[in-house]
Amino acid sequence: MGRRELIVCLLLLLSGASFGHSRFMEKKFVQQVLRLDSIMTAHYRNPNIDTAYVMRPQTRWTVAGRFNLAGAKFKVEGIDEGNHFNSELRADFKSTLALYLKYLGFSVSLSLNPAKLAGKYRDYELGFVYYGRQYGFDLIYQDSKNYTGYHKQESYPRIELPADLFKMKTFNISGYYVFNHKKFSYPAAMTQGYIQKRSAGSFMLALSGQGQHGKLKGDYGIDLRITNIGIGGGYGFNYVPARRWLLHISALPTFIVYSHTSLTFNDSKIPLRYHFPEVIITGRGAIVYQVTKNQYMALSGVYYFTDIGSKKRLRIENEKWRARLTYGFRF
């Protein structure tokens, strides 16, 4: 069955039988759909790339199953009225199962969090990720209520902090621009939308932003608000050691050019002074293996790290990571 016949059959199944004027409108609609599909196909088949290094998959469809795992850690250390304090909190691991469908570069996905469905995980997260050849970005908003950890202050015993005492709202964005995008493909490693045929690397520009609002209830109350914007650059490399393998690593450090932080600890405000270098670092890695001509598996990960302030007064470290295991079929 050809492409035209397949589209017509799908439309008939969706709309049911029709006659007269409806059949005429249906025919025009099919023609418009076929025209749009032809434009999409031409754009998909003829990207501005060096085909000796990078290629598009020859198929139209991709269906993949994904397992995602994510975590976060937050640490505050400083001095309040001469007393040294140290608080560290970790978020529970977040795991999701996802079904991913792509047609000519356009994709949709459906994700399920088993722990959330069972009522064991109460965080809320909204993310939008775009990995293009020339530019791309991660945009993630998270409302977390499941941090656990400890608080330690001089002359006081270490206090374990159970869940529900600390709440954190976080907004992260990490964007990049690739200079050598005709030979080096970021999506080949991170989303498998391309296939890297030969090893290549590229310098990149990077922009990162972060906004946070955290509250710790209890005997040692903390109210923290952070806004950071960083600009920098880095390097990424796709290594093809053998015909079916791809190894990727990239690091995008950005230096903070704008920062506004306020911390209230035990009803007293602690100033956070700029301490060079203050950075936001985004690192990515991936291993991709082509199982057969039209089947692949991939393990990829993203790591975010922020370090601001100084231990002499106040230092804040923030880590967030996520890993993804994918098995996909192309046809």
Q: What is the mean pLDDT of the chain?
A: 85
Q: How far apart are CA 223 and CA 64, in angstroms?
A: 42
Which of 173, 174, 103, 178 is closest to 133 using CA atoms?
178
Do 283 and 204 have their domain in common? yes
Kindly report the CA angle at 70 between 257 and 148, in degrees rounded to 5?
90
**53 and 30, same domain (yes or no):** no
Task: Tell me: do 23 and 81 sit in the same domain.
Answer: no
User: Nearest CA to 208 among 245, 254, 167?
Assistant: 254
pLDDT on residue 17: 47
Q: How many domains does the chain have?
A: 2
Nearest Cα neighbor of 194 from 43, 44, 327 is 44
Q: Verify that 18 and 98 share a domain, yes or no.
A: no
Q: How many CB atoms lie within 10 A of CB 177?
A: 17
Helix (H, G, I), strand (E, B) or coil at 322: strand
Cα–Cα separations (whole angstroms), residue 296 to 141, 151, 244, 247: 30, 45, 9, 14
State the CATH number of the domain containing residue 197. Answer: 2.40.128
Domain that holds residue 28: 3-41
- The answer to whether residues 26 and 152 belong to one domain is no
Q: 3-state DSSP call for residue 14?
A: helix
Same domain, 78 and 112: yes
Task: Say which residue, 208 or 38, is predicted with more confidence.
Answer: 208
- Same domain? 26 vs 91: no
Model pLDDT, residue 99:
94
pLDDT digits (tens, 9 = 90+) for 221-254: 778 888 999 999 999 999 999 999 999 999 999 9
Quote the DSSP letter at residue 236: E
What is the pairing mode between strands 94-103 and 61-80? antiparallel
**Is 259 in the same domain as 227?**
yes
Structure confidence by residue, pLDDT tens digits, 246-304: 999 999 999 999 888 887 877 777 766 667 778 999 999 999 999 999 999 999 999 99
pLDDT at 242 (0 to 100): 94
Task: Count CB atoms within 10 A of the CB of residue 251.
Answer: 17
Which range among 90-99, 155-164, 298-307 shows the weakest confidence by mean pLDDT?
155-164
Among 71, 113, 99, 112, which residue's Cα sits nearest to residue 301?
Answer: 71
Estimate to the nearest angstrom the gap between the alpha carbon of 326 and the chain centroid. 15
Q: Which two tokens stand for residue 286?
A: 């991936």
Q: How far is residue 164 from each of residues 89, 95, 114, 149, 312, measured CA to CA in Å?
A: 12, 20, 20, 11, 30
Note whether 168 and 34 are same-domain residues.
no
From 169, 150, 171, select the one nearest 161 (Cα to Cα).
150
303 within 8 A of 266, measured Cβ to Cβ: no
CB 279 within 8 A of CB 262: no
Half-sphere exposure of 221 (CA within 13 A, CB side): 8
Answer yes or no: do 9 and 95 share one domain. Answer: no
Do residue 153 and residue 127 come from a single domain? yes
125 pLDDT tier (thresholds 50, 70, 90): confident
| 65/20 same-domain check | no
The reported pTM is 0.83
Q: Say whether pLDDT at 43 is over 80.
A: no
By the 8 A CB rule, do 192 and 288 touch? yes
Residues 6+ positions from 153 with CB-CB distance below 8 Å: 80, 83, 84, 85, 86, 220
Q: Who has greater pLDDT, 59 or 269?
A: 59
